[in-house]
Structure 1
Amino acid sequence: MTLRFSKMHGSGNDFAVIDSRDRALALNPSTIRAMADRHTGVGFDQLLSVEPARDGSSAFYYGIWNADGSPSGQCGNGVRCVAAWLQRAGELGIGDTVQIQSPSGPVVVRMVDADRVTVDMGEPIFEPARIPFNASNPADRYALSVDGETVDIGAVSMGNPHAVMTVDDLQAPRLARLGPALTSHAHFPEGANAGFVQKLSTQHVRLRVHERGSGWTLACGTGACAAMAVLRRRGEVDGQVRVDLPGGTLQIDWTGPGDRLWMTGPATFVFEGEWLGD
């Protein structure tokens, strides 16, 4: 199967973007895993497909698959790359605002310039059943037994589930085991993205994320939104926060419950190519 793709990244979180505007593509998990391999394939954290809208209120739809072939509901860095891809394809202009549909629902994007995009990520969801997370009532903090120790986390959905844990040292060896353990914790029936956040000030944090289906990534847009939302709900950060990730920086704006959260960051083209695999 010959498949044209654009290799892109948002702050180091990398993607293969496929044009499915004119024809549906049946991609099986084994093909996605082969493409995602960083030694024998294209190499990416997620694969994104740009497709016709599935309802009249959106301009386009985009699908998301993790590197292991599993589907994903949302990807903050990915939606910025989709918007930049649409701008390069002539579907969006600089300054345009448009609604596109993700597997988790509609998302509004605004093209700030050719490689910078602002995204309306919706309102963070803290109700356990909607994350989903196994807890009786919403809380700012949950104590979980993880890999032999009890840790304190926040749980939130940004269209996909997140566990957020504050730490003093992002390079602490224990995070190497806590990341995968949190991602697959039984309290998250659909798995979770595990974010470890170090607070530098009320306007500045650092973050590392272990993503379900992809492992450690250089950046996670929904993870940055989730970390800010958890800290903001606790009253620990201001309404605008700079989030530094290993691959770059995102700006997250959220005034608090009842309002929508906005993410601004880069979207970069790397190369165009063809997949010649099975």
Structure 2
Amino acid sequence: MKAIHFTKMQGAGNDFIVLDAVAQPLDVTPELVRRLADRRFGIGADQLLLLEKPLHEGEPLRYRIFNSDGGEVEQCGNGARCIGRFALERGYASGSSIPFQTMKGRISVGREADGRMVADMGEPGFEPERIPLRIEGLFSRLEGRLPVYRVYCSDIDGDVEFSAATMGNPHATVFVDDVDEAPVEVVGPFLQRQSFFPESVNVGFVERLSASSAKIRVWERGPGETLACGTGTSAAMASGLMRGLFDARVEFAARGGALACAWTGPGATLKLIGPAEVVFTGTIEI
């Protein structure tokens, strides 16, 4: 048996197991992730975050993300803020901008004066081949500067309209009249299993309250619905602004807490602002 140290963190209710592979090298397998993320027999978390040494000299620390089902994914906005705070408190980083290397490139994380962490999520992408999204045969209309796609869902006996974007991982955003009554558990899995999303997709459901405020729920690849999703909120912000529904800064109410996004449009990077808190630390035998 081997004891490993862990830190449990959360950002707006999106919870993480953070492992420090800089101090204690670890071989993380899908089986290990599933065991640690199990809420009855393990620590419990939506995702596991792994901080590693740089792959090459002169590069920033490497940051990896694993969903609770063991699959490694490209990006996680709430996780980025948590890993930024973790690196600061461990003494691995300092200053106002902390770079990390991820599966899809570099990101940076900073801290606001009020203690909230800010993740630079990069520039959103809408090109179908980048998401990826196969648009052949999909009905669409143009709203503002963004296509809105439509597909019939027999499970609700009606059409689902969505916009699509990438924040380093694929997202569909569905605007609804009432997010609390939205069929998240039906439409989320429905869109995830469609062949036009060859790598599946995270599905956000957004209720616009005004040009600067909204409510959001997200059905993610792997864990299903989580209390918050940073990349899903970022994709919702980007899609809403491109469709003419949002201003350049929007406060989102997720079920786990508040997140803010700031984006001025194409050519600029999107900022995700919110809490990143340590819940507890401990060791577990594997």
Q: Secondary structure at the match of 2:66?
A: strand
* 2:215 matches 1:201: no
**More displaced, 43-52 or 58-67?**
58-67
Structure 2: runs of 5 or more not aligned: none
Letter in 2 for 1:132: P
1:63-212 counterparts in 2 under 5 A?
63-93=64-94, 96-112=96-112, 115-135=115-135, 139-148=146-155, 149-172=158-181, 174-212=183-221
TM-score (norm 2): 0.91
2:269 to 260, 267, 277: 260
With over 3 angstroms needed to count, the CA separation of the structure-2 counterparts of 1:168 and 1:31, relative to structure 1, is same
Distance 2:114 2:246 in 1: 30
CA contact (8 A) 1:185 1:191 kept: yes
Q: What whole-Å deviation, never above 9, does each CA across 1:98-139 have from its counterpart, x for those lacking one?
A: 211111110011122595211111110100111111115994
CA contact (8 A) 1:17 1:50 kept: yes
Letter in 2 for 1:99: P
Q: Report the CA distance between 1:171 and its aligned residue.
A: 2.1
Q: What whole-Å deviation, never above 9, does each CA across 1:197-252 have from its counterpart, x for those lacking one?
A: 00000000110001001111000000110001001001111001101100111110
Query: Pairwise CA RMSD of aligned residues?
Result: 1.8
> Corresponding residue for 1:223?
232
> Corresponding residue for 1:26?
27
Q: Secondary structure at the match of 2:259?
A: strand
Distance 2:257 2:3 in 1: 32
Distance 2:63 2:8 in 1: 16
CA contact (8 A) 2:182 2:205 kept: no
Structure 1: runs of 5 or more not aligned: none
> Corresponding residue for 2:256?
247
Letter in 2 for 1:159: G
With over 3 angstroms needed to count, the CA separation of the structure-2 counterparts of 1:70 and 1:114, relative to structure 1, is farther
Letter in 1 for 2:262: D
> Corresponding residue for 1:14?
15
Matched pairs, number: 276
Q: Report the CA distance between 1:52 and its aligned residue.
A: 1.1
Q: Report the CA distance between 1:26 and its aligned residue.
A: 1.5
CA contact (8 A) 2:60 2:99 kept: yes
Distance 1:215 1:157 in 2: 18
Distance 1:117 1:180 in 2: 31
Letter in 2 for 1:110: G
Distance 2:5 2:114 in 1: 22
**More displaced, 67-76 or 144-153?**
144-153
Distance 2:125 2:5 in 1: 36
Distance 1:141 1:60 in 2: 38
- Structure 1 vs Structure 2: percent identity of aligned residues? 41
With over 3 angstroms needed to count, the CA separation of the structure-2 counterparts of 1:86 and 1:276, relative to structure 1, is same
